[in-house]
A = this chain, B = another copy of it.
Amino acid sequence: MVGSSYIQKKLLRDHSLRARAEKVIPGGMWGHMSVKALPEGYPQYFSNAKGSCLTDVDGNKYIDFMCGYGPIILGHKDEDVDTAFVEQLREIDLANGPSEKLIDLAELMVDIIPAADWAMFSKNGTDATTACVMIARSKTGRRKIAVARGAYHGAAPWCTPRLAGTTPEDRSHLVYFNYNDINSLEAAVSSVGDDLAGILVSAFRHDTRVDQELPSPNFARAVREIANRTEAALILDDVRAGFRINLGGSWEPLGIHPDLSAWSKALGNGFPIASVTGKDVYRNAAQQVFVTGSFWCGAAAMAAAHATILKLIRMDAISHMEILGNMLRDGIREQASQLGIKVRQTGPVQMPQILFHEDPEFRLGNLFCITALKHGVYLHPWHNMFLSAAHSETDIELALTATQHGLEAVAAAN
């Protein structure tokens, strides 16, 4: 869909790096950042970034709507966050115990998150979701965890979306429901009798390749009520959505308080940090489980997270992302309507998903995105995207120029 001449010209260095990588990295790249599932023309390697702008190793610049798949919430290389990190680094980072920054950060999270009476820190979103499951099991003395079918909760054997290398026992205590489907949740819960340790639920249904779904207020209430009734933990997986919907937790606007929450991604604006927060009644259980990691007490990432949260508050960053997200969504809706293209835009506006009607193989989505990419805008055909506080109205206007080209290409191909 993109001429090889384009790729040869635009991604010369990228392709030479890929050839080097093929020799020393299995398949050239692993995990969610491999571009092998994306249309040809996407760069794999990047060399610079600032604010909303990302530069690949060939010097091509993009307005970035993936934000590192979520972590970059204030923009790339935010000066306040990077300064906080580097200043902490010049004092102390990793030692035989934490620095005071651990307490500053825990206090700040307890302060802004109504359902948080305490906090713990780790490095991966998977560390946080896994710890939540362990704490729920430790508290209840039960085994079963209810999770939504198709939801992503990390890449450990118990939750990784691909089964290679796992055993059935890794997920023998998971039972499944459908997101936003109270009946299926009731059925899953009653199937395990009195053995339910927790209900693990994403902030919204942000599964890849499908329309996103916000939790219906009834569903969120039902999750809370069922957890109360069964004395199981309501575990909110706020790893991906955390700090983009509400600084107090993504279900705060619904008035639903989780017992345990998993955080990561945006918490440190790109510096590696994750967190579990929880209610007082889970405090003892959290003490019982042994979770740890070599770098979990690194002070610099904690300083970065502290600075990130303060700046998100100071800037009213979520309102900013919502306003720009609405601009982008309204603009694309109008463009598609003019061209007679059926496009589905779902999820929170600051975490947009754009899918095309009757496009199960993402032929249209790929064409749309690769055309936008050629016009300097980095979108994703089937993973929810991310706005940041560094995006400007000008960025959105430029993005809409690119989406206009993308939609015209879709109209021509349809």
Binds B, one of A155-163, A185-193, A220-228, A325-333: A155-163
Q: Compute how far the CA of A70 lies from the CA of B94 in the bound complex, rounded to whole angstroms.
A: 10
Q: Which of B92, B123, B287 contacts A76 (CB 8 A)?
A: B92
* B162, A173: Cβ atoms closer than 8 Å: no
A278 to B27, CA, bound (A): 13
Cβ–Cβ < 8 Å partners of A17 in chain B: 100, 103
- A3 to chain B: which residues have CB within 8 Å? none
A378 within 8 A of B: yes
CB of B165 within 8 A of CB of A29, answer no
CB distance from A356 to the nearest CB of B (A): 22
A278 shortest CB reach to chain B, Å: 8
Q: With CB as the reference atom, state the residue of chain B lying closest to A265.
A: B294
Q: Is A106 an interface residue when CB atoms closer than 8 A count as contact? A: yes
- The answer for the CA separation of A298 and B300 in the assembled complex, in Å, is 15
B292 adjacent to A30 (CB under 8 Å)? yes
Q: How large is the interface on A (under 10, 10 to 19, 20 to 34, 35 or more residues)?
A: 35 or more
Interface residues of A in 132-189 (CB under 8 A from B): 133-138, 143, 155-158, 160-162, 164-167, 169-170, 172-173
**Number of copies of chain A assembled together:** 2
A295 touches B283 (CB 8 A): no
Tell me the chain A residues, 12-36 only, with Cβ under 8 Å from chain B: 17, 20-21, 23-27, 29-33, 35
How far apart are the CA atoms of A284 and B162 in the complex, in Å?
15
Please give me the residue from chain B that is nearest to A111 by CB atom. Answer: B24
Q: Which residues of chain A in 360-387 are interfacial with respect to chain B, using CB atoms and an 8 Å cutoff?
A: 378
| A39-47, A200-208, A346-354 - interface stretch | A39-47
In the assembled complex, which residues on chain B have CB atoms less than 8 Å from the CB atom of A76? 92, 95
B45 touches A100 (CB 8 A): yes
**In the assembled complex, A270 has its CB within 8 A of some CB on chain B:** yes
Instruction: Give 1 or 0 for each of A114-128: 1 = CB within 8 Å of chain B CB.
Output: 000111101111110
Q: Say yes or no for A217: interface residue by CB 8 A criterion.
A: no
Nearest residue (CB) in B for A35 is: B97
The answer to whether A94 touches B106 (Cβ under 8 A) is: no
Given the known interface contacts A45-B97, A290-B155, A290-B162, the answer about A103 and B296 at a Cβ–Cβ threshold of 8 Å is: no
Known: A71-B294, A91-B48, A138-B165. A120 touches B288 (CB 8 A): no
Beta-carbon contact of A106 and B31 below 8 Å: no
Q: Is A247 an interface residue (CB 8 A)?
A: no
- Taken together as a complex, chains A and B put the C-alpha atoms of A98 and B18 apart, in Å, by 11
Q: Measured between alpha carbons, how far is A283 from B106 in the docked complex, in Å?
A: 41
* B290 contacts A97, C-beta separation under 8 Å: no
Name the B residues within 8 Å of A48 (CB-CB): 91-92
Given A30-B120, A120-B25: A165 touches B95 (CB 8 Å cut-off): no
- A63 interfacial by beta-carbon distance below 8 Å: no
In contact, A272 and B57 (Cβ under 8 angstroms)? no
A286 at the A/B interface (Cβ < 8 Å)?
A: yes
Most buried by B among A48, A71, A162, A167: A167
Query: Which residues on A are within 8 Å of B, measured CB to CB?
Result: 17, 20-21, 23-27, 29-33, 35, 43-49, 54-55, 57, 64, 66, 68-72, 76-77, 82, 85-86, 89-100, 102-103, 106-107, 109-110, 117-120, 122-127, 130, 133-138, 143, 155-158, 160-162, 164-167, 169-170, 172-173, 239, 264-265, 270-272, 278, 283-298, 301, 378
If A20-B103, A25-B120, A44-B98 are given as contacts, then 18 extra A-B residue pairs at C-beta distance below 8 Å, sorted by A number, are A21-B102, A24-B110, A24-B119, A25-B118, A26-B278, A26-B287, A27-B283, A27-B287, A47-B100, A54-B96, A57-B99, A77-B92, A82-B89, A133-B157, A134-B157, A155-B293, A164-B288, A169-B170
